[in-house]
Amino acid sequence: MKFPFASLLASIAILAAATLRSADDAKGTPITEWIQADGSAPAAGWEFKDGVIHRQGKAGDIYSAKEYADFTLDWDWKISVGGNSGVKYRVMKYDDAMLGPEYQMLDDAKHADGLLPTHRTAAIYDLFPAVDNKPVKPVGEWNQSRIIVKGTKFEHWLNGTKVTECDTSTPSWDAAFAKSKFKSRANWAKNPKGRIMLQDHGDEVWFRNVRITEM
């Protein structure tokens, strides 16, 4: 029996769409093992309860136990009033500091960093701002964020919208880096892999559904 070519194409399209939806719905593998920089367990200021990671008191940054190269990272978050935090990626040790590019999470209206476009929510911190009309939720409500890292290219997404991107191999990166606070760190952010970091910036912040899909 002959199978109509148009029907075959339709079947392929439906299968492809279903595959994409399934992959998006899955949103990767949960990151469940978090450690301090020295490999010890997170301090008591980090609360892990009912699937939520809550920085409720002084605790220090925490890191994924594993290093990642190219990936998509998805998570939900909400910040406290006047709060400041972030997610860093491809983090490695530079002399005395654990550093990497940062997805900024901020109360833009009530934190002093909100005066600087490159320090506002969803920016590639201190380098590239998010778009002015980014779809950020009010403080205290959950946002959905995504970081896509592939080779030299980084993308930041907020509530389903891509809000900024960069490429560390381009002149625009070199120009932004030269003006940033990281300029003294040779080859900063050009390492091919590193850890994921949840930042303790001294303020209360909540994370949930932290999932990573390795490419």
| Residue 25 domain-assigned (yes or no) | no
pLDDT number for residue 95: 87
* Number of neighbouring beta carbons within 10 Å of residue 97: 11
Structural domain includes residue 4: no
CATH number of the domain to which 163 belongs: 2.60.120.560
Q: Tell whether pTM > 0.95.
A: no
- pLDDT, one tens digit per residue, over 73-101 is 999 999 999 999 999 999 999 988 999 99
Mean pLDDT of successive 10-residue stretches along the chain, which has 215 residues: 40 35 61 95 96 96 98 98 98 93 98 97 98 96 98 98 98 98 94 97 97 96
Q: How many domains is the chain built from?
A: 1
Q: Has residue 101 been placed in a domain?
A: yes
Say what the pLDDT of residue 70 is.
98
Q: How far does Cα 20 stand from its chain's mean position? A: 21
Assess if residue 17 is contained within a domain: no
pLDDT of 96 reads 86
Q: Establish if 10 belongs to a structural domain.
A: no
Q: What's the domain range around 175?
A: 30-214
Tokens of 112: 């002093």
Q: Which token pair is 113?
A: 């960093």
Count of positions (residues) in the chain: 215
Secondary structure of the chain in the HEC alphabet? CCCCHHHHHHHHHHHHHHHHHHHHHHCCEECCCEECCCCCCCCCCEEEECCEEEECCCCCCEEEEEEECCEEEEEEEEECCCCEEEEEEEEEEECCEEECCEEEEECCCCCHHHHCHHHCCCCECCCECCCCCCCCCCCCCCEEEEEEEECCEEEEEECCEEEEEEECCCHHHHHHHHHCCCCCCCCCCCCCCEEEEECCCCCCEEEEEEEEEEC
38 in a structural domain: yes
Note whether residue 8 is domain-resident: no
* Residue 24 forms part of a structural domain: no
